[in-house]
A and B are shown apart, each in its own frame.
Chain A
């Protein structure tokens, strides 16, 4: 049984990792090897004479090429990464903080119709966001938001807020009220107690929530493509924009860029992996 389980896991892992492996191989090819009709999968030291060979000579030109401005784009990969970082991290921070504040309210105060409000907040997730891309575009045009960092920051913050409120409510509910009450009698206001007790206590929860928000903002493509096609372009929209240009797709650079782009999210997810599913129990209170 153990062996069977292991085999299933290994098979699935291979299947899931195959695209990443392919990205890795492509990123160390030259363009000819990348677009050859004969699949090149084995790195070799000297160039094979037979064009149908599976061997190719590995090289790091694609990674060096990341700072070039390709045909069909206005800026280099790194500038787009900067846009992605600004938009992704600012919107994530905003979602998590607003979500935590909102969740704190739902967790600690008696709010009339709290369940209905929470359902309403969740319901904003029911509709595929892209269904409203046109109205959002029209609205944004009035506000002169397309093509700005702020536009996508607001959009991603709002979309992630429902998730953030729900996740944070779970985490804050687990923090015993006694901690805040102790702070109140020690002389602190509710606001102080929130910052000095709730925020540090729910740090793990905030990290988990943050990773979820970041993944969704980081990888978002539809709105990024529609709203920001000329400036403040995030990486997914940048890659897509390279299509159909006069020089053809620079596949090795795209592969190299995609690897670099995946790395921070992969690392952050790895760091919080233990807490992703498990509810975290804090502190010393015996319930």
Chain B
């Protein structure tokens, strides 16, 4: 039995915007689930409905075997980390962290102990008597995290908690969040639009778009076997290469070139051929010929953008050898890395 069960969840705002269009999702106890998608995909609305800050127009939410769909947030036993810190400016760091415990009626002494313990764990003790506005963004978000976790809630919800931090702080905080979550085994739902962050943190990624779930699977599965074109493009940077072509006689033909055997599931007609940059290699001979546009060195490897007659292809190749822009080059695709999509529906073909 799942710890969180979302059934047919919908949200239509009074203005008529359909933010969430029927979501079904099960979350296991202790799982770290990341809702990933572009802005306006309904991920934050879904999170806020889980928290009880928005009420769904249809559908139900069960939390720990209890229906909470219309229950007010206070009664749900959740912790919430807001995108914009949401710390109380008129309280010190320690008071902020103690606030949820105070409400829960935790006795004074235990409250102080738990606050101190939490502040210590997150390296915040020197800041205990400071006011939030005097802290850096990273420290503020640490305090928010401490406040959300101090009560050991049944469910921890995070709405782009790293969104306002700089790159260095982001990585550090992401690590901290993951370490805390693993240690406390608190079921966590985390919202982000950053696919790298999602990959790094999640047990399971739920990719959303247009108020619907596109795919809910482990980071590896989402990356290797995207359920559709949207997921293929949204996850992975640079995005998956895509070529439009035809299947004829069991072969995939694209712009006059024969790129190899088509999958058995592809009927004769138009299909899309997808391949991630790491499954493209450059050489003197290959499936397609083109001209190097840009050679992007990123340290551990390089991304080479090649213009071919059928479109632009990105290849991820070894860092050692530079590629001169303008040079003629041939592209080879690794058959194991190729994914096929239905040209009309965008769904991946098995």
Contacts and interface: CB of A to CB of B under 8 A. Distances in A.
A189 interface: yes
Q: Which of A197, A201, A283 has the most CB of B within 10 A?
A: A283
A286 B133 CA distance: 11
B80 interface: yes
A285 B133 CA distance: 9
Interface stretch (A68-76, A95-103, A174-182): A174-182
B80 A282 contact: no
Interface in B217-247: none
Q: Which of B79, B100, B147, B151 has the most CB of A within 10 A?
A: B100
Interface stretch (B26-34, B81-89, B184-192): B81-89
A284 B151 CA distance: 23
Given A187-B103, A187-B104, A182 B86 contact: yes
Contact of A188 (B53, B74, B80, B87): B74
B78 A178 contact: no
A187 B140 contact: no
A284 B140 contact: yes
Interface string B46-78: 000001110000000000000000001110101
A181 B82 contact: yes
A119 interface: no
Interface in A141-187: 176, 178-179, 181-187
Interface string B198-227: 000000000000000000000000000000
A186 B153 CA distance: 10
A201 B14 CA distance: 29
B297 interface: no
Given A185-B73, A185-B78, A192-B103, A285 B84 contact: yes
A184 B51 CA distance: 9
B88 A182 contact: yes
Contacts of A2: none
B3 interface: no
B90 A200 contact: yes
Contacts of B117: none
A188 B82 contact: no
29 contacts: A178-B82, A178-B85, A181-B82, A181-B86, A182-B80, A183-B88, A184-B52, A185-B51, A185-B73, A185-B76, A185-B78, A185-B80, A185-B157, A186-B100, A186-B147, A187-B100, A187-B104, A187-B151, A189-B74, A192-B103, A200-B90, A203-B90, A282-B89, A283-B132, A284-B85, A284-B87, A284-B133, A285-B85, A286-B164
Interface of B: 14, 51-53, 72-74, 76, 78-80, 82, 84-90, 99-100, 103-104, 132-133, 140, 147, 151, 157, 164
Interface of A: 110, 176, 178-179, 181-189, 192, 197, 200-201, 203, 282-286
Give the 4 A-B CB pairs with smallest separation, nearest first: A283-B89, A187-B103, A186-B100, A178-B86
